[in-house]
Amino acid sequence: MTVPDPIDLARLRRSCAKCSLHELCVPAGVNADELRQLERIVQRNRRIERGERLFWPGAPLAGVYVAREGAFKTTVIDESGEEQVLGFHLPGEVIGLDAMGTGVHRCEAVALATAEVCEIPFAQLTAVAAQLPSLQQQLMRVIGQGVDRDQVHLGVLVRRQANERVALFLHGLGERLRTAGQSATRIRLPMSREDIARYLGLALETVSRGFSRLQEDGVIEVTGRQVEVVDAALLARLAHGVEERVPRRGRIA
């Protein structure tokens, strides 16, 4: 056991944050020694070209990934052959925990743009985690948050109007871009309208109409994949289902 070293810790934290591993490390619960151990097993700077896959259904869980640059989508093909987009993964967000349960991936992760990822080999992660209760706990927490996100997503897909879904998507994306250290108002979408549609459970034309409608209403400016959020406050309200130009139909008192 060594005495905690504030300077080293700070450097590692920065490096970790830079490498976007902060979801695993930063939110407290991991001390200097543990962070150092974790750092040691991280494999850095693996380059993934646009369209390349990080893993695919049936692949054994090799590791968890965090993009430093670029973006990913995770998808499954349902039995009718349709692609369902489960989620998008921006820099700093953990990818690959879906195989946690079975040890085998059920979805595939595709790079939406050329990406730089860090990889934590799973065997070594569990080995380290087994010796570090706080990391174990942190791992649980990250998984739990993933579940939370899924449930939120689920809530969005059901019972929300198409335009609300689009607004919520854009709003959420902005928030996440902000945490990733990018602008939340000047957005270059890494995914196509079709990807968004398959994420939101809509037809791609409906997504497109949603964007157009938001532009008409002065909420955003759209030019293809370039989106400028003009009225962030309004976007947030629309996302939370507060208004909607057409008065809402019958609702609980």
Partner DNA sequence: CGTCGATTTGACGCTGGTCAAACCTTGTGG
Partner DNA sequence: CCACAAGGTTTGACCAGCGTCAAATCGACG
Q: Does 31 sit near its own copies (CB under 8 A)? A: no
Closest CA to 198 of 239, 165, 236: 165
Q: Does 86 sit near its own copies (CB under 8 A)? A: yes
**Residue 146 contact, options DNA, its own copies, none, Cβ 5-8 Å cut-off depending on partner type:** its own copies
Per CB under 7 A, which of residues 44..63 are in contact with DNA? none
Q: Binding its own copies by CB under 8 A: which of 18, 100, 183, 225?
A: 100
End-to-end CA distance of the chain: 61
Site string for DNA, 129-168 (x = CB under 7 A): --------------------------------xxx-----
CB of 197 to DNA, least distance (A): 7
Which residue matches tokens 């595709």? Answer: 110
Closest CA to 99 of 107, 88, 110: 107
Closest CA to 74 of 46, 35, 111: 111
Is residue 104 within 8 A of residue 98, CB to CB? The reply is no
Buried b (16+ CB within 10 A) or exposed e, 93-110: bbbbbbbeeeeebebbbb
CB of 106 to DNA, least distance (A): 25
Q: Does 41 sit near its own copies (CB under 8 A)? A: no
Per CB under 8 A, which of residues 209..248 are in contact with its own copies? 240-241
Which residue matches tokens 């591993």? Answer: 21
Is residue 75 within 8 A of residue 85, CB to CB? The reply is yes
Q: Does 81 sit near DNA (CB under 7 A)? A: no
CA distance 228 to 22: 28
Site string for its own copies, 121-160 (x = CB under 8 A): -----x---x--x--xx--xxxxxxxxx-xx-xxx-xxx-
Q: Does 205 sit near DNA (CB under 7 A)? A: yes
Which residue matches tokens 């997503």? Answer: 153
Q: Does 98 sit near its own copies (CB under 8 A)? A: yes
Specify the residue, 101 or 218, whose C-beta has the smaller distance to its own copies.
101
Question: Three-state DSSP class for 240?
Answer: coil
**Residue 9 contact, options DNA, its own copies, none, Cβ 5-8 Å cut-off depending on partner type:** none
CB atoms within 10 A of CB 71: 21
CB atoms within 10 A of CB 49: 10
CB of 30 to its own copies, least distance (A): 16
Q: Does 250 sit near DNA (CB under 7 A)? A: yes
Binding site for its own copies (CB under 8 A): 76, 78-82, 84, 86, 98-102, 106-107, 126, 130, 133, 136-137, 140-148, 150-151, 153-155, 157-159, 201, 240-241, 251-252
